[in-house]
Chains A and B, each alone.
Chain A
Amino acid sequence: MTRDSTLRSGLRSPRLLWVPAVVGLALIVLPVAGLLLRVDFARLPALLTSPASLDALELSLVTAAISTLLCVLLGVPLAVVLARVRRGARVLRAIVVLPLVMPPVVGGLALLYLLGRNGFAGYLLDVVAGVRVPFTTAAVVLAQTFVAMPFLVISLDGAIRAGGDQYERVAATLGASPWVVFTRVTLPLLLPALGSGVVLSFARALGEFGATITFAGSLQAVTRTLPLEVYARAEADVDSAVALSLLLIVVAIVVIMASGRRMTDGVRP
C-alpha cells in the first residue's frame, strides 16, 4: 500500500454503538462459524458430489436464475410505474411488499389456492390447456418469484423516488420519447439499484423454502432445491445436511462478491 494521503475523516461513530454493533455481527458470524465447525471435511467431497446434491444444486441455480430474470422483467416496470403513480401509491406499495411480510408457507398456500387443482386459475389451466402447475419446476420458479420480487421492486422504487424525475424532464425537452427516456436515461441511472435488487432477489430465491415445499412439493431433480434437500437430509443424516448448508453459503458468498461492486456503487450523484 502506498501512503497516498495523510488526511483522515474527523468524524467518529459514538463509542456506545460499538457494543451492539459487535453483538449484531457476532449474531451473524457465530452461528455460521458453528456450522463450519460441524462440517465433516473428510466426507465433504463425497457428500457434495452425490447425485442428490448435484441435482439440488443445479435445480437451485437454474430456478433462482430464472426467478431473478422474471423479477427483473416484471419488477422493473412495476417499480417504474409505481414510482410515477399519483393516486393509490401507498396502497399499491403495501400490496407489493405483502410477500415480504407474509410467512412463506402462507405464500405457498396462496399460490396453491390460485394455481392448484382446485384454485380458479389452476382449474381453468387444467381443463383448458391440460396444464398442472403444482409439483413442477415451474411451480418452484413461481414460488421463488413470488417471495423475491418485493426485494427488487423496493430497491428500485427507493432509488427512483430518491432520484426524482429531473433527468427524465431534461431528456424529454431534448426530444426523447417516453420509451427513449426509459431505456437511455431511467434504466442506466437505475443500474446500481437494479444490481443490488438483483442480488437480493437472487439470494431470496436461492434460500426459498416454505412457499416451495407448500406449492411445489419436494422431488429430487424436479422440485427439491438445495434448502429442501438440506431439510430432508437433516431428518436422517445431519452431517450431510451440514455439508449442503455449506454449499448454499458458498454459493451465496460468491453471488455477493461477484456483485459487490454494484451494491456499493452510489445510486445517483
Chain B
Amino acid sequence: MTLHAVVRAVRGQFELSVELSAEPGHVVAVLGHNGAGKSTLLDCLAGLLHSPETSVRLDGRELSLLPPYRRRVGVLRQRPLLFPHLNVRDNVAFGPRAAGARRRQARELADRWLAAVDAAELADRRPAQLSGGQAQRVALARALATDPELLLLDEPLAALDVDAAPAMRGLLRDVLRTNTGRVTVLVTHDPLDALALADTAVVLANGRVVEHGPTQRVLSAPRTPFAARLAGLNLVAGEAVEGGLRTADGALLHGLHAADTEQNSPAVAVFAPSAVSVYPRDGRVPGSPRNTADAVVAALEPHGPVIRLRTQAAAGWAGGLAADLTPAAVADLALEPGTPVTVVVKATAVDVHPAWPSGLARGPELPERSGQAYS
C-alpha cells in the first residue's frame, strides 16, 4: 500500500493543510503540540470528519468519498474504548462480524489476535475488569482483526502509566515490524514514540507541515526552531550494548536501557541538553563521571532563560550535541565558537531506546492476512 493524502479543512480560525505520503509498510509519525491539528488529520483520514478538499489515496484507491466503514482503516486511540457491553473476545470479533463473518469464525480469529497481543487469557473478561495496559492491547487486537489497509494510531501510549507504556510500545513495534505492506500513521506529541516506531516523521504546527523526513534526522537535526523546541533532545544513534550504546565509530556512551531495548540491535541514546555539563578543556572535571568527551563549541544562542551551546560535528558521541548553560556560566568559561571544551553526561541521564527499524528480527507469530471476503 502506498499512501498519498492531501487534507485541507477549516474550522473557525483554524486551518489544516497537510500533505502526507508513505511507502508501503512504512510508519509515518505526525508530531506536534496539542492543537496542532493532529487528531483532525487522523479523523479526516479515517473518514470520521469530512472536508471537500481532502483526498486520501491508498494504492490509487480514492478513500475520501467513502464512509468510514468502507475505508478499511484501523484506529487505535489514546483511550481503548472497548465496547462495555461485550467481553474481550467479542470486542475483537466485532470487526470480522461486521464484515460478515460467522460468529464462530469471528471468535476464532479474535482468539488468534488476542494471542498475538499476549492477551489470550483475557478473552472472557469484561472491559471493566482490565487494566489500562491490558485494555489497550485488546484494543490493538480489535483494530488489527479487521485487517486494515491503513492503521491510524492516535497517541496510543499517552494514557498508559509508566509501567504499561514500554510494554505497549514494544508490542506495537513487534506488530508494525511484521507488517504486510500496510501504511501506519502514528500521531504523537512524544518524540520517543516517533523514534521507536516510525520510519519518517512529519512535524505539524498550526495546521501545517513545518518539517518532514527520516525520523532520526528530523529529531536530531531539526531544521526549524519549532521542530527543535518540540524535539529538543540529544539523540545519539548506535547499537545497544551492555551498559549503554556504542556508536558507529566505536565510542561507548553509558546509559540505562529502556524496557523494550534489545542487546545488539539498533538503538538511540536520548538525553536532554540540560543534562550536559560543560568544562574547560584542561580544567579538572569533578568526581568520576562515566561519560566524558572532548568537543569544540560550534555556536551559542539564547534559548529562553538559558544559552544553548552546540558542539561541532565530530566522531564519537559528543559531536553535534546541544547543552544548556546559564549566561553566567558562559561568561565565566569565556565560551565562544571555537573554544575547546570537555562535555560530561551522567549515565543515569541517558536513556537507550530501540531505534526503528530495528533489523530483521522476527516478531511474534501473527495471524495470517485474511484478505478473503467473508461469505
Contact = CB atoms under 8 A, between A and B. Distances in A.
Contacts of A185: 83
B98 A174 contact: yes
A184 to B, nearest CB: 7
Nearest to B68: A172
A173 B46 contact: yes
A172 B69 contact: yes
Interface in B67-100: 67-75, 77, 81, 83-86, 94-95, 97-99
Chain A interface size, under 10 / 10 to 19 / 20 to 34 / 35 or more? 20 to 34
A167 interface: yes
B68 A268 contact: no
B95 A175 contact: yes
B98 A166 contact: no
A145 to B, nearest CB: 28
B73 A173 contact: yes
A166 B71 CA distance: 18
Contact of B98 (A171, A188, A189): A171
Nearest to A268: B84
B84 A172 contact: no
Interface in A148-196: 166-167, 169-178, 180-181, 184-185, 188-189, 191
Contacts of A172: 47-48, 67-69
B81 A174 contact: no
A166 B79 CA distance: 10
B188 interface: no
Nearest to A181: B69
Contact of B83 (A167, A177, A180, A191): A167
A20 interface: no
A14 interface: no
B84 A176 contact: no
Quick one: which of A166, A172, A173, A269 has the most chain B CB within 10 A?
Answer: A173
Interface in A72-91: none
B128 interface: yes
B99 A269 contact: no
Quick one: which of A166, A170, A189 has the most chain B CB within 10 A?
Answer: A170
A175 B84 contact: no
Contacts of B75: 170, 173
Interface in B330-372: none
A180 B48 contact: no
B146 interface: yes
B177 interface: no
Nearest to A170: B81
B156 to A, nearest CB: 14
Contacts of A269: 84, 127-128
A181 B83 CA distance: 11
B69 A177 contact: yes
Contact of A167 (B68, B81, B152): B81
Nearest to A189: B85
A173 B95 CA distance: 9
Interface string A179-216: 01100110011010000000000000000000000000
B142 interface: yes
A188 to B, nearest CB: 4
Contacts of B46: 173
A191 B46 CA distance: 28
Nearest to A188: B85
Contact of B48 (A167, A173, A174, A176): A173
Nearest to A172: B68
A175 B95 CA distance: 6
A174 B142 contact: yes
Contacts of A174: 69, 74, 94-95, 98, 142-143, 146
Given A166-B81, A189-B85, A176 B73 contact: no
A173 B81 CA distance: 12
Contacts of A169: 48, 68
Interface string B21-44: 000000000000000000000000
Given A185-B83, A189-B84, A175 B98 contact: yes
B286 to A, nearest CB: 52
B98 A176 contact: yes
Nearest to A169: B48
B252 to A, nearest CB: 46
A162 to B, nearest CB: 14
Quick one: which of A167, A175, A184, A191 has the most chain B CB within 10 A?
Answer: A175
A176 B94 contact: yes
A268 B68 CA distance: 24
A189 B48 CA distance: 21
Nearest to B46: A173
Contacts of B68: 169, 172-173
A176 B69 contact: yes
Interface of B: 46-48, 67-75, 77, 81, 83-86, 94-95, 97-99, 127-128, 142-143, 146, 152
- Give the top 3 A-B pairs by smallest Cβ distance, nearest first: A174-B95, A176-B98, A172-B68
Given A172-B48, A174-B143, 15 more contacts: A166-B81, A167-B81, A170-B77, A172-B67, A173-B48, A173-B73, A174-B69, A174-B146, A175-B95, A175-B99, A176-B98, A180-B98, A188-B83, A188-B85, A269-B84
Interface of A: 166-167, 169-178, 180-181, 184-185, 188-189, 191, 268-269
11 contacts: A167-B81, A170-B75, A174-B95, A175-B98, A176-B94, A177-B69, A180-B98, A181-B69, A189-B83, A191-B85, A269-B84
